[in-house]
Amino acid sequence: MKRCSLGRLHAKGLIADPVGRAKSVVLTDEGLRQSETLFRALFTRRD
């Protein structure tokens, strides 16, 4: 059985419980921290 991406993110505690086929999700505090860290690592230049 394949799990959807939203289910995996919820299982890791990065988003709130995805209900149905919502077009938006709510990040948890941990999800927000990790997204900011990844954004800086992937999309900013190091001096």
Residue 2 pLDDT greater than 60, yes or no: no
Tens-place pLDDT, residues 5-34: 888 998 999 999 887 776 788 999 999 999
Tell me the whole-structure pTM to 2 decimals.
0.69
Residue 3 is predicted with a pLDDT of: 67
Going by C-alpha positions, the residue among 2, 45, 11 that lies closest to residue 31 is 11
Q: Return the domain boundaries, the chain.
A: 5-43
Q: DSSP code of 44? A: S
pLDDT band at 35 (very low <50, low <70, confident <90, very high): very high
Per-residue pLDDT averaged across 30-41, rounded? 96
Phi, psi of 6 (to 5 degrees): -65, -40
Helices (H), 1-47: 5-11, 29-43
Whether 1 has a pLDDT exceeding 70, the answer reads no
Strand partners, 27: 15
